[in-house]
């Protein structure tokens, strides 16, 4: 009997998320600077009679245990590509907040691809895996690659970025998630309402911030804190006004920067070092403005098959 294969995959925080105008195809061009952080899901692939999904972890009940699960879609896509029977049990040990703007589903898709490729001996090249990732979702290629990277297009065209040091983060996990498409729609609505318009004709092309890329390269947390931006933050705050209190609580507890992570509702706080991160985490926990508090540093490695 073939042995199970487990892949470990990190969460991400967007240190810059610049959102262009609405394209005719319904997507937005992005300048998306991803940083992988050390919160991980693990996906274990075991031979089975047919495709089966199980999920464990605090948020397991919010993850669909069927073929709509991104991990299942990834396994089906890989099996289809190679003419393999997708008879696999995928177990997801979930530690990344669900629908939290930290690319948890994307992480599971990348993990399932890697684990199934090893289990089935399909021997995909890095390029083949990245192409499958891009078909599965805009954030999936970064989950495979990890580290730090600039995403262009919908976020799927990746350039790795050098980082000079580890950055220390605190994450405030909210009650309930936010739908990523709903947050983009709210971003468009707010732009329309403000009179700027929301389409590619109205909004300047999104560009990465030179100051932010330099701060990553030198590993300077204060410079990174001064440069982080998230164009989706007003929309996330509009849909979930209580996040303003969470952001304030983190700032009051000494965070260098406070921002909504991706489409939210998880809030991310940058700290000077691990000690400062512990202080921010304690302040947030005491504030009662979030469901849970996690600390993690980044860059973290991308999807990795664990040795058994
Ligand atoms: P992103 O940051 O990429 O926008 P997110 O972190 O906000 O994503 P996910 O955790 O990926 O959001 O979940 C979004 C939705 O996708 C969930 O509400 C859930 O119904 C569905 N979903 C499908 N597969 C998974 C999975 N493996 N893990 C989590 N959610 C999944």
Write the ipTM.
0.93
CATH number, domain 167-298, options 3.30.70.890, 2.160.10.10, 3.90.550.10, 3.40.50.150: 3.30.70.890
By C-alpha distance, which of 18, 12, 20, 34 is closest to 150?
Answer: 34
Domain assignments of the chain as residue spans, ordered by start: 5-162, 167-298
Please tell me the distance from the alpha carbon of residue 158 to that of residue 145, in angstroms, as a whole number. 9
pTM of the model: 0.95
For residue 200, what are the CA distances in angstroms to 134, 190, 275?
Answer: 22, 15, 44
- Top pLDDT among 192 and 153 is at 192
Average pLDDT over residues 206-210: 96
How far is the centre of ligand 1, averaged over its atoms, from the C-alpha of 187 (Å)?
19
**Any known ligand binding at 176?**
no
Instruction: Read off the pLDDT of residues 269-298 as tens digits, 9 standing for 90 and up.
Output: 999 999 999 999 999 999 999 999 999 999
Say if ligand 1 is within 6 A of residue 264 CB: no
Instruction: Read off the pLDDT of residues 215-245 as tens digits, 9 standing for 90 and up.
Output: 999 999 999 999 999 999 999 999 999 999 9
Residue with tokens 């047919």: 50
Atom of ligand 1 nearest to the CA of 11: 6
What's the confidence (pLDDT) of residue 307? 87
Instruction: Read off the pLDDT of residues 85-113 as tens digits, 9 standing for 90 and up.
Output: 999 999 999 999 998 899 999 999 999 99
**Any known ligand binding at 1?**
no
Atom 20 of ligand 1, residue of closest alpha carbon: 63
Report the mean per-residue pLDDT for the chain: 96
Say if ligand 1 is within 6 A of residue 7 CB: no
What is the CATH code for 5-162? 3.30.230.10
The phi, psi pair for 15, rounded to 5°, reads -80, -25
Say if ligand 1 is within 6 A of residue 141 CB: no
Q: Is the pLDDT of residue 308 over 80?
A: no
What's the confidence (pLDDT) of residue 157? 82
Residue 45's Cα: distance from chain center in Å?
A: 22
Contact 171, 285 (CB under 8 A): no
Best probe residue, ligand 1, of 30, 53, 71, 104 (max atoms within 8 Å of C-beta): 104
Atom of ligand 1 nearest to the CA of 137: 3
Average pLDDT over residues 72-88: 97
For residue 25, what are the CA distances in angstroms to 67, 146, 199?
Answer: 26, 28, 11
Instruction: Read off the pLDDT of residues 8-56 as tens digits, 9 standing for 90 and up.
Output: 999 999 999 999 999 999 999 999 999 999 999 999 999 999 999 999 9
Query: Which residues, listed in sequence order, are joined to residue 16 by a DSSP beta bridge?
Result: 33, 229
Residue 66's Cα: distance from chain center in Å?
A: 21
Atom of ligand 1 nearest to the CA of 68: 23
What's the confidence (pLDDT) of residue 189? 98
Q: How are strands ordered across the β-sheet holding 267-271?
A: 257-260, 267-271, 167-173, 292-298
Residue 177's Cα: distance from chain center in Å?
A: 13
User: Roughly what angle, to the nearest 10 degrees, separates helices 243-252 and 274-287?
Assistant: 130
């Amino acid at each position: 009997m073939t042995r199970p294969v487990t892949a470990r995959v990190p969460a991400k925080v967007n240190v810059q998320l610049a959102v262009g105008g609405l394209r005719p195809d319904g997507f937005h061009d992005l300048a998306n600077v991803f940083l992988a952080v050390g919160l991980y899901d693990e996906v274990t692939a075991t031979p089975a009679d047919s495709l089966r999904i199980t999920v464990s972890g605090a948020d397991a009940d919010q993850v669909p245990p069927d073929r709509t699960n991104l991990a299942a879609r990834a396994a089906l896509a890989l099996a289809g590509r190679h003419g393999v029977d997708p008879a696999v049990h995928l177990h997801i040990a979930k530690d990344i907040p669900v629908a939290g703007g930290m690319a948890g589903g994307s992480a599971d898709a990348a993990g399932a691809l890697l684990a199934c490729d090893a289990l089935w001996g399909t021997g995909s090249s890095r390029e083949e895996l990245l192409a499958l990732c891009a078909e599965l979702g805009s954030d999936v290629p970064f989950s495979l690659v990890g580290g730090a990277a600039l995403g262009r297009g919908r976020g799927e065209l990746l350039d790795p970025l050098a980082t000079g040091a580890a950055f220390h983060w605190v994450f405030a996990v909210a009650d309930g998630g936010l739908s990523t498409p709903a947050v983009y729609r709210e971003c468009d609505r707010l732009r329309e309402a403000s009179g700027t318009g929301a389409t590619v004709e109205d909004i300047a092309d999104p560009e990465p911030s030179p100051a932010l890329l330099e701060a990553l390269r030198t590993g300077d947390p204060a410079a990174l804190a001064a440069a982080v931006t998230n164009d989706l933050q007003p929309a996330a705050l509009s849909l979930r006004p209580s996040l303003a209190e969470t952001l304030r609580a983190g700032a009051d507890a000494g965070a260098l920067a406070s921002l909504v992570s991706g489409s939210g509702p998880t809030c991310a706080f940058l700290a000077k070092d691990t000690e400062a991160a512990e202080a921010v985490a304690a302040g947030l926990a005491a504030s009662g403005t979030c469901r849970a508090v996690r600390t993690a540093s980044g860059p973290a490695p991308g999807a990795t098959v664990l040795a058994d």
